[in-house]
């Protein structure tokens, strides 16, 4: 890692400015697209825009855990669920505004993440994956069985939200704003001491510890931060769909987010955005293809769910074997972009 | 019947259901020991093996004996194919990548089973006799008792193979030290392939025993967490530990389910996993490979 940093600093000034200008242009284009979407797109485009933005938040969060800190979490959707339920309950029982609900959902998911992370992260190895799998099953169980609070299988219904009197478009801008903010925050996190500590722990944990980084608290923070992002995304999802039930937070959804991180490219913010967009659009694409192949009368729901499991799994396996840097790597290859990063060992 | 006899009866039922965990746990351990891959697809391999039995036995009409042989062979084939096609290209890659891949494979297997056989329960041929077995006053349901006997025989055969056969010795040598084993002329890749093949047979056998009691759905793979709890309690690398832990967790689940209710029963695996991680990450009989930080 340190070698790469020095190389980057020694690189000619011109290329640095270029890549920064390119990145700024990219962000500006993204903002312009976000603003333009509701004025030119259909209702469907607005709906998909909200869904993509929510998934971007959750994927960026999982990328902090899996991509940057190198910890495997396979129960991401459970933390979305915590955020969704907590924010919905705050809304129903306390009548708090949306902004506070989002923060509440994020904080709750952060704390639940700590609860599952503390025992697992004190040991080296894949124990976090087991603990998050346990979180996946046990939190689903809680959502489903704690009927007086969570409403059981029927779940919770929420009243319609109206942001600044703009209806759906207003809500879309809120979601897009939160997504932009959290993505920028995650990107800038890796220019700070805390964020770089995540990477250092991923690359060589003992070396990081020698450099004065507390391994356990760094890993815990990386995992709980990912969970907090999921909590915020869950709170927005609850407000967006206006219904929260256990079946939104199954293992399949966790596989979805893991696939989004892997497909986009682990350890890059651009990758998380690309991965979330790709993965959100793909089920729509499958549905479209199926409708044309099998006709509308086919048993869509029965076919779609297993197909998704196959495709999500195959994407994870295929990208890890053939292009570990994900869509970002493919893009770079397509543009003939060769940097030192190419030579960097995989993490 | 007095309370003690009832307790004994629950205990026997519990041990009997623990036999299934032992087989699945052994499959996990053999893969983990020889290849150091943490196999998150263990539960799904159980599920797929059971469906293969259903396919060959009832759908293709091989009869139960032919179906059983075909299913075990096909399950071994699927596992070996997974190793050869998916995991071998990843040798030498970071550990997190290998674990993620098994997770992806699990998802593919769930999807394939759901696509082919649908979400509903499928009943298998009744391989095991229904007539209950009496031990003195104590009654054990026939399927459970015979299932346990079968699982015990398979586990015993596996352990003898692992202990005394040439191939088993090669696996154990690889597990101890891959580089030394290779320099002594052991073909590591064949050992990996063999380990996966054995794992496929063991998971399919445990899945078929489980399925012949309850039927099979694509959700059968969800017992994976119970198996992970067994493996962690036993210590990941210990064959003997898995046998003890499998029987213990089967027993504990039944006792808790009987006296405290089924809702509590579902929390047992998580509790075990948490306690093991807090108290003794090496498990009961594991090697001291696990490091605390």
Domain coordinates in residue numbering, chain A: 2-7+25-248
CA distance B200 to B79: 5
Q: Note whether B290 contacts A255, CB cutoff 8 Å.
A: no
CA distance B45 to A5: 44
At residue A162 the predicted structure's pLDDT band, cuts being 50, 70 and 90, is: low
Closest partner residue to A126 (CB to CB) among B38, B93, B109 is B38
Residue of B nearest to A133 (CA): B225
Q: Spell out which residues of chain B touch residue A305, defining contact as CB-CB under 8 Å.
A: 114
Residue A12 has pLDDT above 70, yes or no: no
Closest partner residue to A306 (CB to CB) among B115, B224, B291 is B115
Residue of B nearest to A262 (CA): B100
Work out the burial of residue B163: count CB atoms within 10 Å of its CB; fewer than 13 is exposed, 13-18 middle, 19 or more buried.
Answer: exposed
The mean per-residue pLDDT over the stretch A66-83 comes to: 91
ipTM: 0.86
The mean per-residue pLDDT over the stretch A91-111 comes to: 89
Mean pLDDT taken over chain B = 85
Residue B262 tokens read as 């089924």
CA distance A36 to chain B (A): 37
How many interface pairs between A and B have CB atoms less than 8 angstroms apart? 138
Region of B129 on the Ramachandran plot (φ > 0 left; ψ -120 to 50 alpha; else beta): beta
Provide the pLDDT for residue A14: 45
Closest partner residue to B111 (CB to CB) among A71, A307, A321 is A307
More confident of the two residues B225 and A299: B225
The mean per-residue pLDDT over the stretch A94-111 comes to: 90
Q: Spell out which residues of chain B touch residue A130, defining contact as CB-CB under 8 Å.
A: 228, 232, 273
Q: Spell out which residues of chain B touch residue A310, defining contact as CB-CB under 8 Å.
A: 107-108, 111-112, 115
CA distance A304 to chain B (A): 9
At residue B36 the predicted structure's pLDDT band, cuts being 50, 70 and 90, is: confident
Residue A114 has pLDDT above 80, yes or no: yes
Closest partner residue to A317 (CB to CB) among B101, B111, B113 is B101
The mean per-residue pLDDT over the stretch B41-61 comes to: 90
Residue A301 has pLDDT above 70, yes or no: no
Residue B110 has pLDDT above 50, yes or no: yes
A contact test, residue of B277, B282, B292 with most A CBs within 10 A = B277
Question: Of all helices (H) and strands (E), which one includes residue A157?
Answer: strand A156-157
pLDDT tens, B277-291? 878 777 777 766 555
Closest partner residue to A120 (CB to CB) among B109, B119, B277 is B277
Q: Spell out which residues of chain A touch residue B115, defining contact as CB-CB under 8 Å.
A: 303, 306-307, 310
Q: Note whether B107 contacts A313, CB cutoff 8 Å.
A: yes
CA distance B217 to B41: 16
| Percent of chain B's residues with pLDDT above 90 | 21
The distance from CA B61 to its chain's CA centroid, rounded to whole angstroms, is 27
> Which residues have C-beta within 8 Å of that of residue A78, sequence separation ≥ 6?
A132, A135, A136, A139, A140, A249, A254
Are the C-beta atoms of B45 and B37 separated by less than 8 Å? no
Strand partners, B140: B133
Q: Spell out which residues of chain A touch residue B114, defining contact as CB-CB under 8 Å.
A: 305-306, 309
More confident of the two residues A158 and A104: A104
CA distance A114 to A82: 13
Q: Note whether A308 contacts B274, CB cutoff 8 Å.
A: no
Taking the CA of residue B40 as centre, how many other CA atoms within 13 Å lie in the half-sphere pointing to its CB? 30
Are the C-beta atoms of B24 and B227 separated by less than 8 Å? yes
A contact test, residue of B32, B104, B280 with most A CBs within 10 A = B104
> Which residues have C-beta within 8 Å of that of residue A33, sequence separation ≥ 6?
none
Residue B159 has pLDDT above 70, yes or no: yes
Question: Of all helices (H) and strands (E), which one includes residue A244?
Answer: strand A243-244
Q: Spell out which residues of chain B touch residue A262, defining contact as CB-CB under 8 Å.
A: 100
Q: Note whether A134 contacts B266, CB cutoff 8 Å.
A: no
| Percent of chain A's residues with pLDDT above 90 | 27
The mean per-residue pLDDT over the stretch B43-72 comes to: 89
Question: Of all helices (H) and strands (E), which one includes residue A243?
Answer: strand A243-244
Question: Of all helices (H) and strands (E), which one includes residue B3?
Answer: helix B3-35
The mean per-residue pLDDT over the stretch A238-253 comes to: 88
Which candidate, B195, B215, B214, B193, places its Cα nearest to that of B203?
Answer: B195
CA distance A171 to A168: 5
Its pTM stands at 0.87
More confident of the two residues B102 and B140: B102
At residue A110 the predicted structure's pLDDT band, cuts being 50, 70 and 90, is: very high
Residue B58 has pLDDT above 90, yes or no: no
The mean per-residue pLDDT over the stretch A151-179 comes to: 80
Mean pLDDT taken over chain A = 83
Cα separations (Å) of A3 from A12, A187, B96?
A: 16, 21, 23
Q: Spell out which residues of chain B touch residue A303, defining contact as CB-CB under 8 Å.
A: 115
Reported in sequence order, the residue ranges of chain B that DSSP labels E, i.e. its strands, are 133-135, 138-140
At residue B66 the predicted structure's pLDDT band, cuts being 50, 70 and 90, is: confident
More confident of the two residues A301 and A27: A27
pLDDT tens, A174-216? 889 899 999 999 988 888 888 898 888 888 888 888 888 888 8
Closest partner residue to B274 (CB to CB) among A119, A126, A317 is A119
Q: Spell out which residues of chain A touch residue B224, defining contact as CB-CB under 8 Å.
A: 133
Residue A17 has pLDDT above 60, yes or no: no
Q: Note whether B94 contacts A134, CB cutoff 8 Å.
A: no
Residue of B nearest to A128 (CA): B277
Provide the pLDDT for residue A69: 87
Provide the pLDDT for residue A87: 92
Domain ranges of chain B: 19-222
More confident of the two residues B63 and A103: A103
For the stretch A252-280, what's the b/e string if a residue is b when 16 or more beta carbons lie within 10 angstroms of its beta carbon? Answer: bbbbbbbbbbbbbbbbbbbbbbbbbbbbb
At residue B272 the predicted structure's pLDDT band, cuts being 50, 70 and 90, is: confident
pLDDT tens, A315-345? 999 999 888 888 888 888 887 766 554 445 5
């Amino acid at each position: 890692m340190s070698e790469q940093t020095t190389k980057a600093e020694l690189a000619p000034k011109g290329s640095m400015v270029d890549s920064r200008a390119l990145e700024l242009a990219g962000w500006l284009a993204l903002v312009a697209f976000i603003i333009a979407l509701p004025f030119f797109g259909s209702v469907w485009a607005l709906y998909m825009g909200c869904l993509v933005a929510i998934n971007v938040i959750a994927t960026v969060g999982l990328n902090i855990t899996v991509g940057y800190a190198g910890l495997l979490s396979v129960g991401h959707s459970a933390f979305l669920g915590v955020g969704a339920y907590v924010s919905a309950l705050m809304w129903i029982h306390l009548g708090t505004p949306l902004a506070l609900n989002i923060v509440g959902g994020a904080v709750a998911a952060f704390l639940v993440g700590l609860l599952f992370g503390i025992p697992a992260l004190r040991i080296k190895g894949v124990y976090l994956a087991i603990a998050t799998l346990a979180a996946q099953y046990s939190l689903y169980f809680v959502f489903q069985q704690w009927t007086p609070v969570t409403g059981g299988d029927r779940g919770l219904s929420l009243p319609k939200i109206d942001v600044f009197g703009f209806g759906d478009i207003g809500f879309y801008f809120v979601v897009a704003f939160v997504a932009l903010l959290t993505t920028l925050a995650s990107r800038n996190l890796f220019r700070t001491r805390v964020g770089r500590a995540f990477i250092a722990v991923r690359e060589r944990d003992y070396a990081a510890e020698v450099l004065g980084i507390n391994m356990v608290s760094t890993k815990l923070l990386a995992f709980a931060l990912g969970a907090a992002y999921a909590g915020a995304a869950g709170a927005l999802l609850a407000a967006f769909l206006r219904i929260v039930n256990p079946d939104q937070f199954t293992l399949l959804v966790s596989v979805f987010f893991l696939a989004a991180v892997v497909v986009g490219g682990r350890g890059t913010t651009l990758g998380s955005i690309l991965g979330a967009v790709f993965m959100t659009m793909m089920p729509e694409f499958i549905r479209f293809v199926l409708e044309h192949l099998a006709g509308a009368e086919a048993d869509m729901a029965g076919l779609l769910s297993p197909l998704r499991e196959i495709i999500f799994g195959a994407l994870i396996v295929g990208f890890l074997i053939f292009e570990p840097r994900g869509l970002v790597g493919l893009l770079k290859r397509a543009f003939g972009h060769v940097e030192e990063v190419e030579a960097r060992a995989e993490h | 019947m007095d309370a003690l006899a009832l307790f004994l009866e629950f205990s026997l039922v519990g041990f009997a259901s623990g036999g299934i965990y032992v087989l699945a746990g052994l499959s996990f351990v053999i893969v983990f020991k020889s290849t150091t891959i943490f196999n998150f697809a263990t539960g799904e391999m159980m599920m797929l093996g059971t469906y293969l039995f259903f396919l060959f036995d009832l759908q293709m009409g091989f009869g139960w004996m032919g179906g059983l042989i075909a299913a075990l062979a096909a399950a071994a084939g699927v596992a070996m194919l997974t190793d050869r096609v998916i995991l071998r290209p990843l040798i030498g890659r970071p550990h997190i990548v290998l674990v993620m891949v098994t997770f992806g494979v699990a998802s593919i297997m769930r999807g394939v089973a759901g696509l082919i056989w649908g979400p509903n329960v499928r009943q298998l041929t009744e391989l095991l006799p229904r007539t209950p077995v009496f031990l003195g006053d104590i009654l054990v349901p026939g399927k459970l008792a015979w299932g346990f006997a079968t699982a015990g025989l398979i586990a015993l055969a596996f352990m003898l193979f692992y202990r005394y056969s040439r191939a088993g010795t090669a696996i154990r040598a690889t597990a101890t030290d891959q580089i030394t084993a290779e320099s002594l002329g052991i073909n590591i890749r064949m050992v990996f392939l063999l380990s996966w093949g054995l794992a496929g047979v063991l998971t399919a056998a445990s899945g078929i025993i489980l399925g012949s009691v309850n039927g099979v759905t694509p959700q059968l793979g969800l017992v994976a967490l119970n198996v992970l709890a067994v493996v962690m309690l036993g210590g990941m690398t210990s064959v003997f530990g898995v046998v003890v832990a499998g029987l213990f967790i089967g027993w504990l689940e039944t006792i808790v389910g009987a006296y405290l209710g089924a809702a509590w029963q579902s929390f047992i695996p998580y509790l075990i996993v948490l306690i093991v991680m807090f108290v003794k990450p090496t498990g009961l009989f594991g090697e001291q490979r696990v490091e605390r930080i």
